[in-house]
């Protein structure tokens, strides 16, 4: 086995023994760019996975004297993208379940402190 500089065979074997104790004896090392979906999940969700995205929110708040009251305007999900919050396969029936984030939402909030 080829070892990195400064790593002894004894320390490598000890590390592998500890690794096996944590994750078990069935594991796989392969090229970094190889997709291992089949090893990650019994129900691969490649088509349900959320791709990278950007979601912006903004708000502007005006506060009254001594913070007794405030009024805020806000907008969430400015880009109005359809985003998957969660996705999984329901284990008993085997149906995919996807929860979506809220679409663009805007409004006014008022607060009064007593």
Average pLDDT over residues 56-66: 95
pLDDT tens figures, 3-53: 888 889 899 889 888 888 888 877 666 666 665 555 555 556 667 778 888
| Contact (Cβ atoms closer than 8 angstroms) between residue 37 and residue 89 | no
Distance CA(45)–CA(101), nearest Å, equals 18
pLDDT tens figures, 85-100: 888 888 788 788 889 9
pTM (predicted TM-score):
0.53
Residue 56's pLDDT is 94
pLDDT tens figures, 64-79: 999 899 999 999 999 9
Residue 58's pLDDT is 97
Task: Spell out the SS3 assignment of 16-35.
Answer: HHHHHHHHCCCCCCCCCCCC
């Amino acid at each position: 086995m080829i070892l990195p500089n400064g790593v002894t065979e004894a320390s490598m074997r000890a590390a592998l023994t500890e690794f096996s104790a944590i994750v078990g004896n069935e594991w796989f090392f392969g090229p970094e760019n190889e997709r291992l979906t089949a090893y990650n999940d019994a129900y691969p969700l490649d088509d349900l996975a959320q791709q990278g995205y950007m979601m912006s929110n903004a708000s502007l708040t005006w506060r009254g004297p001594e913070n007794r009251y405030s009024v805020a305007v806000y907008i969430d999900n400015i880009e109005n993208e359809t985003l998957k919050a969660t996705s999984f396969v329901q284990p008993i029936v085997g149906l995919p379940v996807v929860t979506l984030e809220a679409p663009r939402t805007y409004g006014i909030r008022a607060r009064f402190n007593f």
